[in-house]
Structure 1
Amino acid sequence: MLRAKPDSAAVAAVDLARDTLLQEAEPTDVGDHLGHVVEGERVVTHLFACTRPGYVGWRWSVTVARAPRQKLITVDEVVLIPGDEAIVAPEWVPYRERIKPGDMTPGDLLPVDDDDPRLVPTYSFGDDPLDADEKAQIRQVAQDLYLGRARTLSVEGRDLAAQRWYDGDGGPSAPIAQSAPDHCHGCGFLVRIAGPLSELFGVCANGDANDDGRIVSFDHGCGAHSEVRLAKKHEPQPLPDHVVDTVSLDELERF
């Protein structure tokens, strides 16, 4: 890509750019000329330091231009722009993309879009399978159209949930799982679930565990595993015999 040739008249129009800028800003807010940028053929932007309090790193930008075969330089625009060291607001992210699990409070509503890829019409995909014949269930849901749930998880929605659970605190990478003596798949407190996710996840039913009532992966684990046993060196040491038998008075009567 060829760069535009600098226009000598536009490049030299520093005083014109400053005079125009002083009509828009206070003289105390305008600093030194910082150079120019060639925007295009016969179009140049002059940059001036901004000395306004609170705008450290910002620059005044004055764009000038010259029409073909004309000597007159005109000013296109005057704007205040941030430089590399300027403090600017972070890029705006929609609230729907910023919300995290646990952010909702009682009374909050979080509507789901009609075209949310995580959901599909129940009649086209079937409800969560309760038996091995998923096709039979799809036919039954189609027959009972609108009598059950309107939408159910799509394959994409199911995979997103599975990945989120697996990567979270109930997955194998959690610190508590890394130091666990065994995995959840062999724990008596693991409650099996139905559906496609049953091949990888269950629910913890140990009231003493951190994950009680939560989804955990089979290769998750914690120190409350049902088959955990303390090593002999960790078992409580037996108490020594009493020096004086305080249960009966026979021994005391001797003294």
Structure 2
Amino acid sequence: MLIDGQIALVTGGGSGLGAATARQLAAKGAKVAILDFDIDRASAVAAEIGGIAVQADVSDEAAVSAAIDSAVAQLGGVPRIAVSCAGIGMAARIVGREGKLSFDVFEKTLKVNLFGTYNVMSHAARRMAELEPMADGERGIIINTASVAFEDGQLGQAAYAASKGAIASMCLPAARELAQSGIRVMAIAPGLFQTPMMEGLPPEISAKNTANIPFPTRLGAPEEYALLAEQIVTNPFLNGTTIRLDGAVRLPPR
């Protein structure tokens, strides 16, 4: 799909991977709607790229539907490109000190990461399916964000790994289902990237993780995620799979 002239929806576009993706798509000529819980950050990025910002909690199904309707009304059309970058990275042991359980962390992580991604994919796909197909029959592309933790989850990442593993696992069945509507579904599994989530880690943990990246031995740049998203959009034969973007890293147990 050619990006120029298309309408794109990016969740979590107020910072990190989402902001880089919104900038990349806009630079290639897309009209971009940023959907984010933090409307101030989203508005700042939208103003920078000539897009729009819509506030919503992706874990709220009704809010996602209303937000996409708002984006459609403001941009004058249904997005053919939807990229889900919204997510959280809470860490907790399954059974912590003194037997403390962490179901609250598990529940919130899945609501935002997994249910949020599913909500956006569902509502975007329903609207895309009503569009006229392009010359090659394609109506849209949905890109979801998993994580290398879906295969390499570390100690304390049971909730995060479960949420990202589900995103990776639903990629193929979603692509198979939506193929009849000419909609592709892909997932990107980033490794260790320079994002607000990583910046919240203690320096010694960040340094240890970075040292495990074979090459290049550094954190990934959000712009590199955005570049892969662009390449997925423009390559029509990419469908139904999860791509690791990680510098060949395999995370250690802790």
Indicate the TM-score class for this superposition, using the shorter chain for normalisation: under 0.3
Higher helix share: 2
Higher strand share: 1
The TM-score, its normalising length taken from structure 2, stands at 0.21
Is the radius of gyration larger for structure 1 or structure 2? 1
Which has the bigger relative contact order, CA under 8 A and spacing at least 6? 2
The TM-score, its normalising length taken from structure 1, stands at 0.21
